[in-house]
Amino acid sequence: MSASNGANPSPHADTANVSLPHDRDRIDALQSALMEAVERAGYPKPSRFAIKLAFEEALMNAFHHGHQGMDDDLEVRVEYEVDPSIVIIRVEDQGPGFNPDKVPDPTLDENLALPSGRGIMLMRAYMTEVAHNASGNRVELRYVRPED
């Protein structure tokens, strides 16, 4: 791991730790709070675009794939830490988990016309680091502020 990837938030980071129901108004409220924290921390527009996209993808993966076939009332645990040097987002669902490496590559010609399977690749493209726990029901996104 590079030194920059190992950056840790300061004790003064803007943080949240909530259990989120599958309710768009609640998701939007948390997303707005996160994006306001990211803006306060001085991240430029491309960073804000990346963080908003990855946050959305992580949440939708948790609710739609993580909890697939399960009770829609199940909540997802979301934590974030926003610091001027790094943003960390953790999303944990209550499902059995999955192996992210088994998701077919959506950029292959034969998969281009498939309507799903792009969430993980977008998170990986836009975040500095995307790590799943061993059971695959928890993802940690790390976004290290780019050099000016």
Partner 1 sequence: MAADSRLRVKSIEGVTQVEFIDRNILDEANIQAIGDEISELIEQADTPNLLLSFSNVDHLSSAALGALITINNKVKAKGGALRLANIDPQIYEVFMITRLNKLFEIHETTDDALKAFA
**Selection from 126, 117, 122 nearest residue 146 by Cα:** 126
Which region among 9-17, 78-86, 104-112, 131-139 touches partner 1 (by CB under 8 A)? Answer: 104-112
30 binds partner 1 (CB under 8 A): no
Is 89 in contact with 127 (CB distance < 8 Å)?
A: no
**Selection from 131, 95, 127 nearest residue 22 by Cα:** 95
Burial of 143 (0-12, 13-18, 19+ CB in 10 A): buried
6 binds partner 1 (CB under 8 A): no
36 binds partner 1 (CB under 8 A): no
70 binds partner 1 (CB under 8 A): no
Minimum Å gap between C-beta 145 and partner 1 is 17
Judged by CB, which is closer to partner 1: 25, or 71? 25
Judged by CB, which is closer to partner 1: 39, or 56? 56
46 binds partner 1 (CB under 8 A): yes
Judged by CB, which is closer to partner 1: 7, or 30? 30
d(CA 67, CA 83): 30
SS3 content of the chain, % helix, strand, coil (to 5): 35, 20, 45
Minimum Å gap between C-beta 116 and partner 1 is 5
**Selection from 112, 102, 99, 122 nearest residue 51 by Cα:** 122
Tokens of 49: 């675009």
53 binds partner 1 (CB under 8 A): yes
Residues within the interface to partner 1 (CB under 8 A):
24, 27-28, 45-46, 49, 52-53, 56-57, 60, 64, 106-107, 112-116, 118-119, 121-122, 125
